[in-house]
Amino acid sequence: MRPIRVDLKQDNVEPHAWQLTITGDLDMTTIGAFDEAVDSLVAQGARLVVLDLGSVAFLDSTGLRGIVRASDALAEKHGQLTVAGLSGAAERVLEVTGLLERLRHEPSTTPKDRA
């Protein structure tokens, strides 16, 4: 188990856009920190959350459920979750489960590259 690190960064141009960067494992032992970050962003009125999974080493079904929950919570508030910068591990799991087709995804976390 690798401890999770959750970093939040607000977009300088769009005040309701955030980048949520996850480092480490997103699994049953770390999902609480992820859920807290997402809940905080939704409560603050986030309309776009770019979820940077480039440094995720391991992703289990609990992590997948957390990502789906985050996407649904944002959609309920007319917001959107975009997964970006996928690591090999995260991309493979999202691909195999079919979630990559359901979620908006971008190759880069850099706004100019996503446009």
- Per-residue tokens: 72: 């649904």
DSSP assignment of 26-73, as one string?
ESTTTHHHHHHHHHHHHHTT-SEEEEEEEEEEEE-HHHHHHHHHHHHH
Q: Locate the domains of the chain by residue range.
A: 5-105
Which tokens sit at 84? 């970006």
For residue range 37-61, list pLDDT tens digits in order. Answer: 999 999 999 999 999 999 999 999 9
Binned at pLDDT 50, 70 and 90, residue 115 comes out as very low
| Structural domain 5-105, CATH architecture | 2-Layer Sandwich (3.30)
- C-beta neighbour count of 76 within 10 angstroms: 9
Reduced to 3 states (helix: H, G, I; strand: E, B; else coil), residue 36 is helix
Bridge partners of 9, per DSSP, are 19
